[in-house]
Structure 1
Amino acid sequence: MLTETRSFADPHQHASSILGWQQTYDQLSCGSFSSELRQVSADRFQIFQESLNKRIVQHGCAPEGRLCIAISLSSGRAPMVQGLEVGAHSVVLLRDGEEFLLHAPEGLQFFAVNVDVVRFARLAAFELSTEKLKLLKTMSQISISESVLQRLQQRIYPIFQCLLQRAMDVGPAAEKMLEDTLLDAFLDLFSNASDEGRGRRGNFAVCAYLVKRSQELALANSETPISILDLCEQLRVSRRTLQNSFHVVTGIRPVEYLRNLRLNAVRRRLISTTASEFKVSEIATEMGFFHLSHFAGNYRELFGEYPSETQRAGC
């Protein structure tokens, strides 16, 4: 069992340190990145809490064979997952390698737990109604009462804290008991769940789809940056619709959002290669940045350092 608390100054390193998750974190708001990750990972369950000081878009796939729940602990702007705002009493769901897209505001704190999906499904079949099982299989988030949410946190968080503080080397029997406690909490959660955001889902889903497709088109044409008009033409929407969609989902203009994605791609490439392999200018040009002084200024504005100051592999 792995128990650790780590701090990071780079979103890519943070994302790659959460065991079992295939994901990318792209920084969207300007300034030096700072985060903390606390995680407990065992063979059949995982608990982690992450705190991020900058606006981040997270995209990737959840661990295969796991059912994951996540709760926002932030008091500011709500994160958006799969095109829906995460409500104050909502729990986010991801199932068995499911693809996800999370827009995290500045100051996000997320608490997440995952368990073996096969064992949970076997237990849930005996205990949950047909309606509850449908929510479990289809919804991106569920709504629960404040009392159920508090009960969930009170059952799981003390275990998490104890494992982190003591860095316990537990045996198979103790690990099985911990897994049973988490599964029991999951069953209680879904027994008291309801559909979240039934009336809001359509509009948010359209906005999230347009942002996601814009991101895919932009990254597929990294060497020749795609314009807003190109996106409107390919997505068959007006400039106003595209602008409004980005405002709802990301809080920033589409041109800024797409440029920041390419800047993050440059940063990941710099960190993973040596200066003798690729010059900064070569990587920048490959990602469609042809005016190098503007590129360096935009890079410094977003990450708080010039590209020449970013630590390269092997240094």
Structure 2
Amino acid sequence: MLLAHLYRWPDKMQPQEYHKAAPALRPGTSFRNQSSGDFEQQASLLSGWNQDYVQLSSGAFKGYVTELHVQGMHLFHEFTSQSLFQHGQLPESVIAIGVPLALQNAGIFCGAPSSTQSLHVFSGRNGFEFYSPTGLLMAGIALERQELLAYMGEAGEQQLSRVCRDSHLLRMPESQLTPLRELMTGAFDMLRSNPALIHQPVAMQSLKHHVLQQVAAVLAGETSDAHATSAASKCWNMLGESRQFVQQHYDSPISVADLCQHLDISRRSLQYSFQHYLHTNPVAYLRAERLNGVRRMLKTANSVTEAAAHWGFWHFGHFSQEYKKMFGELPSTTFKRLRSLN
């Protein structure tokens, strides 16, 4: 796993400590929808997932999370308009999976190409890493491990430990994914049209029972395709090294030539990998990384100028235009908004 390459963890919380800080699944029942115009705020909407987002595509961010908590089970739909690097980790006692309902391009999940035909296993000892594409609508399910085991038969413990040891992607036949996808879309459609259902214990218990059955069936019949993921895994390694290199040299702008030399690959190979897997080019990627660095620093910097200079932007007019194109607002607006929250 490349979590350490893709994100520098806060000094006070290392990856292995996440399960200590993460709250358990909620015991009660609730149904709510939360929208967001900020990708960092979006990352915090799913409680207990310990997520961090970095925006890579340009434009104002729009997102929402519609979620249902039922007696220790968490179902949700999450929409994100821009492409992101997502990082997170769940408690060891929670099994979480997801399936894309809609997306504009393929993504990369833990080194494997992601599509609507993929089952995402978010659980795992080292956390998950996800390059999520633009216009992604993800359906997710988080369950208590012990409850799921009751639905998996005698070999359940061994199977669940194997499948959910590390976060990864599973190739699934359409016949296996369709029932799960239909359950996740149908249940939310019914709850939107008839919210009173959440106050009916029999209905909620029935829904929980069906979800547990579907998840158990899917994980019991899991398959994988190592050949299909090998090329994407190599690209994912390269991206991790690229991010680490950029973050270590924030005081001196990194060029495409610098990146090629560091990775020991040709410019053509670098261009192909970024275009094929991230749907962008290396120049735009490097600029996005530096702009995200500025945005993070605006939380603690004394001024916008200080943050811009720290990340190598020395033409303030050009920087402001690039920042607004990337995030949909001027850096001064972000700075004032973040200050007002402190």
Pick the TM interval, shorter chain: 0.7 to 0.9
The 1:88/1:157 distance shift into structure 2, 3 A limit, reads closer
Report the 3-state secondary structure (helix = DSSP H, G, I; strand = E; otherwise coil) of the residue aligned with 2:265: coil
Q: Out of 178, 187, 195, which is 1:166 matched to?
A: 195
* 2:294 maps to 1:266: yes
What runs of 5+ residues in structure 1 fail to find an aligned partner?
Answer: none
Cα distance in 1 for partners of 2:47, 2:167 equals 24
Alignment of 1:191-206 (within 5 A): 191-195=220-224, 197-206=225-234
Match of 1:112, SS state, is strand
Q: Distance in 1 between matches of 2:30 and 2:314?
A: 44
Question: Aligned partners of 2:236 and 2:318: how far apart in 1?
Answer: 30
After superposition, the C-alpha distances for 1:234-255 in whole angstroms (9 at most, x for unaligned) are: 3333333322222222111123
1:218 to 233, 243, 246: 246
1:182 aligns with: 211
Which letter does structure 1 place at the counterpart of 2:323?
Y
Partner of 1:290: 314
Counterpart pick for 1:232 among 260, 277, 284? 260
Shift of 1:140: 1.5
Q: Deviations over 1:244-277 (max 9, x none)?
A: 222222111123112212212322443x45xxx6
- Does the Cα contact within 8 Å between 2:127 and 2:167 map onto a contact in 1? no
Give distance in 1, aligned partners of 2:302 and 2:248: 21
Pairwise CA distance, 1:301: 1.5
The equivalent position to 2:61 in structure 1, one of 23, 33, 38, is 33
Task: Mark the CA change 1:71 to 1:30 in structure 2 (over 3 Å): closer, same or farther.
Answer: same
Segments of 5+ residues of structure 2 without an aligned counterpart are: 1-28
Instruction: Kindly provide the amino acid, as one letter, of the partner of residue 81 in structure 1.
Output: F
Asked if residue 300 in structure 1 is aligned to residue 328 in structure 2, the reply is no
Partner residue, 2:4: none
Partner of 1:106: 134
Aligned length: 310
The secondary structure found in structure 2 opposite 1:46 is: strand
Give the 5 Å matches for 1:119-158: 119-121=147-149, 124=152, 126-127=154-155, 134-137=162-165, 140-158=168-186
Q: Is the 8 A contact 2:110 2:167 kept in 1?
A: no
Answer whether contact 1:62 1:98 (CA < 8 A) is retained. no
TM-score by length of 2: 0.78
2:31 corresponds in structure 1 to 3
> CA–CA distance in 1 between the matches of 2:238 and 2:39?
24
Counterpart of 1:185, as a letter, is: Q
* Matched letter for residue 140 of structure 2: A
Deviates more, 1:109-118 or 1:136-145: 136-145
Between the aligned partners of 2:159 and 2:53, the Cα distance in structure 1 is 35
8 Å contact kept, 2:70–2:208: no
Tell me if structure 2 keeps the 8 A contact 1:135–1:142: no
Q: Report deviation, 1:298.
A: 1.0
Alignment match, 1:313: 339
Aligned position for 2:48 = 20
Identity of aligned residues (%): 27
Q: Secondary structure at the match of 1:200?
A: helix
Match of 1:250 in 2: 278
TM-superposed deviation, 1:170: 6.3
Query: What's the TM-score, normalizing by structure 1?
Result: 0.84
